[in-house]
Amino acid sequence: MKYSLVAEYFDKLEGTRGRLQMTEILSSLFKETPRSDLPVLAYLMQGKLRPDYEGVELGIAEKLALRALSMASGRTAEEVKDAYVKSGDIGTAAQILLKGSGGRGRQGSLTSEPLTLRRVYDSLLTIAKTSGGGSIDSKLKELVSLLNDATPLEAKYILRTAMGVLRLGVADYTMLDAAAVALLGDKAKRKVLESAYNVTSDLGFVIGVAAEHGLAGVEKIRLQVGKPIRPMLAERLESAQAIRDKIGKPVAAEYKLDGERLQMHKDGEKVELFSRRLERITLHYPDAVKFVKEHVKSRKAVLEGEVVAINADTGEYLPFQELMHRRRKHGIEETMKQYPVAVNFFDALFVDGKDITGQPYVRRRAELERVVEVTEFTRPIPAKMVETVEEMEKFMELAITEGCEGIVAKKPDGVYRAGAREFTWIKLKREYSSELTDTIDLVIIGAFHGRGRRTGVYGAYLLAAYDAERKMFPSVTKIGTGFSDANLERFPKMLKPCESMVKPPNVESKLVPDIWYRPKVVIETIASELTLSPTYPAAMDAIRKGSGLALRFPKFTGRIRDEKGPGDATTVKELVEMYGLQKRSQSVQR
Ligand code: ATP
């Protein structure tokens, strides 16, 4: 398939807002795409090259993109930078600069062929996989060669994709809608595609199966040991009473430990571990791998649990921060001894070769208790069936005394719904000193120069929530409190690769920081409350016309959420819900 056709469709999509219209455009793109190219197209549209769990990272540095553009257009570095800063977008800059330079086959390569989707994809994959000495030069060469053969419109999308700032505004479910229409001939079949996507976490794969084998093929897609399933998530409520009212009785209350979520896949002697954002993290926890091998009494199983740092002498849980010492690639053996961990299992999705996600909680819990051996380092997470609000509160107190964050209340007859955040699981956290009980995970999108003691380092950061509907990052707060000196030193270095001379195209903010960052790093914050604000665009018009939501007295908790990607940050929808909960608990207190 010619890449020019893809670029034309991308251009059309960019100018479209309504979901229905988008679905129409997309489904005609899917119909025009040869079957074998569909998986690749789907990844590119997600702004990816492979499913997340394979860890192939797109997103070349800004500098490299500018150098490539300068070489391909024959313009000076200054001219390129000017065009970039003026237009605020690498794609637009490319389009403008290349227009004057003769289009395809510039640089004298008269024989150049039109670009195909495959060639663009393969080159981007080569770039993403190149690392080590001399890698900058090889990446540059590959990118320039693509740009030399590209029309200005093609170059626009190639560069945006390469930098990881392609912004088509197409949500995953819109793509599933379009695939249902184009490949299965019925929009209602989107549900089947969606559940296949949720159990495989691989949109390209699902769309490929739909194209090659139709509905029957997609219906056969099941949870596979070795491929991570999108995790089920918890809603939040403000009190045990509210939870009882929502779930009824009894409620299955479980400890909520503050560690890292692990999805553990066991196939005989082979064990793989996946994180909350579905990255393969097997190598981080050789001890957890050993525990699963030795203490899970099922040959083929997928279990979920929380891995927590423990005090080796007493077995007590340690705070989450201790676990972060384990997030490293080297010297694992040594750190493993220094920071031992325990695994607390909380769900069984696949046992003895059988997918049990469709079974109710009580059955899955029974299976979990059957297969997980209780040892010093492994056990099913403490759980209790509670009938009354008082019982639930007692259990919560017990959990907190034992070092937990709170409890997760689960509906006894609830099935495991991959990728869903519903009231089947509800988290109830310990009251913090501030009024908002839950923390909010936000993405860093900018920084402001510091004054006084903070001269020379950044004094405050601009943070955004995630608008999942539009795949945008609207700002919600400026934050300067809660940073240790060590963090103030560390942050600029950590954020360096995300620096951007212009406001990234997927960011929305009226406030203009001294430096912009491409949305990548997620940090945990706590605030006294959520307030309406005309300054911040998150949830604009959702509660009141002309106002968005902002954090009041925000504070960084000290926790960088490595296990979350920008798309896992607190969403605008969640903020609106939290605002509603806060109103409710305020009126109860009055
Ligand atoms: P998200 O809800 O998006 O996962 P989060 O990590 O901020 O975001 P938390 O408030 O930490 O959400 O609550 C959900 C997380 O709690 C789970 O992802 C899991 O890591 C952890 N957890 C701890 N104990 C349990 C339990 N018993 N059942 C389910 N999850 C648990």
Nearest residue by C-alpha to atom 17 in ligand 1 = 261
Q: Which of 576, 547, 569 lies closest to 472, judged by CA?
A: 569
Q: Report the separation in Å between the CA atom of 422 and the middle of ligand 1, taken as the mean of its atom positions.
A: 13
Token pair of 67, please? 């150098």
Q: Which atom of ligand 1 is nearest to the CA of 276?
A: 18
Which has more confidence, 321 or 210? 210
- Asked if pLDDT for residue 270 goes beyond 80, the answer is yes
Average pLDDT over every residue of 177-182:
97
Distance 202 CA to ligand 1 centre (A): 22
Rg for the chain (alpha carbons), in Å? 25
Give dist(CA 71, CA 189) in Å, integer.
47
Query: How far does residue 191's CA lie from ligand 1's centre (Å)?
Result: 26
Task: State the chain's mean pLDDT as an integer.
Answer: 91
Query: Closest ligand 1 atom, CA of 568?
Result: 3
256 catalytic? Reply is yes
Question: What gap in Å lies between CA 464 and CA 13, rounded to an integer?
Answer: 24
pLDDT at 402 over 90: no
Lowest mean pLDDT among 60-64, 441-445, 456-460, 581-585: 581-585
Rounded to 5 degrees, φ, ψ at 349 are -105, -25
Residue nearest atom 1 of ligand 1, based on CA coordinates = 233
> What is the per-residue pLDDT for 320?
80
Confidence band of 455 (pLDDT split at 50, 70, 90):
confident
233 Cα nearest atom in ligand 1: 2
Model confidence at 432, pLDDT cuts 50, 70, 90, reads very low
Instruction: List all residues whose CB is within 6 A of at least one atom of ligand 1.
Output: 233-234, 254-257, 261, 276, 306, 346, 381, 408, 427, 441
Q: Ligand 1 centre and the CA of 324: distance in Å?
A: 17
Per-residue confidence (pLDDT) for residue 260, from 0 to 100: 94
- pLDDT of 216 > 90? The answer is yes
Report the nearest-CA residue for atom 24 of ligand 1: 256
> At 407, is the secondary structure helix, strand, or coil?
strand
Q: Taking 50 as the threshold, does the pLDDT of residue 113 lie above it?
A: yes
Domains of the chain: 48-163 (1.10.3260.10), 233-428 (3.30.470.30), 440-589 (2.40.50.140)
The per-residue pLDDT for range 66-107, each reduced to its tens digit, is 999 999 999 999 999 999 999 999 999 999 999 866 555 455
pLDDT band at 444 (very low <50, low <70, confident <90, very high): very high
Query: Which ligand 1 atom sits closest to the C-alpha of 439?
Result: 7
Q: Which of 256, 410, 429, 478 is catalytic?
A: 256
Give the Cα separation of 555 and 429 in Å (integer): 18
CA of 553 to the centre of ligand 1 (A): 25
Q: Which protein residue has the closest C-alpha to ligand 1 atom 3?
A: 233
- Position 433 scores a pLDDT of 40
Token readout for 301 is 């199983």
User: 230, 232, 260, 261: which to mutate for ligand 1, most atoms within 8 A of CB?
Assistant: 261
Atom of ligand 1 nearest to the CA of 255: 27
User: Which ligand 1 atom is the nearest neighbour of the CA of 259?
Assistant: 20
Residue with tokens 């009494």: 297
Test site for ligand 1: of 243, 427, 440, 522, most ligand atoms within 8 A of the Cβ: 427
In this predicted structure, the answer to whether residue 180 has a pLDDT above a threshold of 60 is: yes
pLDDT of residue 106: 56
3-state secondary structure (DSSP) of residue 571: strand
Q: Which residue, by CA, sits nearest to atom 31 of ligand 1? A: 256
pLDDT digits (tens, 9 = 90+) for 481-509: 899 988 998 999 999 999 999 999 999 99
Give residue 307 CA to ligand 1 midpoint distance, Å: 12
Q: What is the mean pLDDT of residues 506-513?
A: 95
- Sign of dihedral through CA atoms 540, 543, 547, 552? negative
* Residue in the block written with tokens 């920071």: 339
129-147: average pLDDT: 91
Residue 29: pLDDT band (50, 70, 90) is very high
Distance from C-alpha of 536 to C-alpha of 55, rounded to nearest angstrom: 33
Q: Which helix (H) or strand (E) covers residue 312, if one does?
A: none
pLDDT band at 10 (very low <50, low <70, confident <90, very high): very high
Tell me which of 249 and 365 has the higher pLDDT.
Answer: 365
Q: What's the pLDDT score for residue 404?
A: 87
pTM of the predicted model as reported, rounded to 2 decimal places: 0.81
The distance of Cα 52 from the centroid of its chain, to the nearest Å, equals: 9
- Tell how far the Cα of 368 is from the centroid of ligand 1, in angstroms: 18
Predicted local distance difference test score (pLDDT) of residue 102: 56
- The per-residue pLDDT for 305 is 98
Q: What is the pLDDT of residue 111?
A: 55
CA distances, 244 to each of 81, 90, 392, 581 (Å):
59, 52, 9, 16
- Phi first, then psi, for residue 488 (nearest 5°) are -60, -35
The whole-number average pLDDT for the span 553-558 is 90
Pick the closest to residue 421 from 275, 281, 573 (CA basis): 573
575 CA from centroid of ligand 1 (Å): 17
Probe ligand 1: pick from 260, 408, 568, max atoms within 8 Å of CB? 408
Model confidence at 57, pLDDT cuts 50, 70, 90, reads confident
* pLDDT band (50, 70, 90) for residue 206: very high
CA distance 165 to 163: 6
CA dist 284 and 302 (Å) reads 18
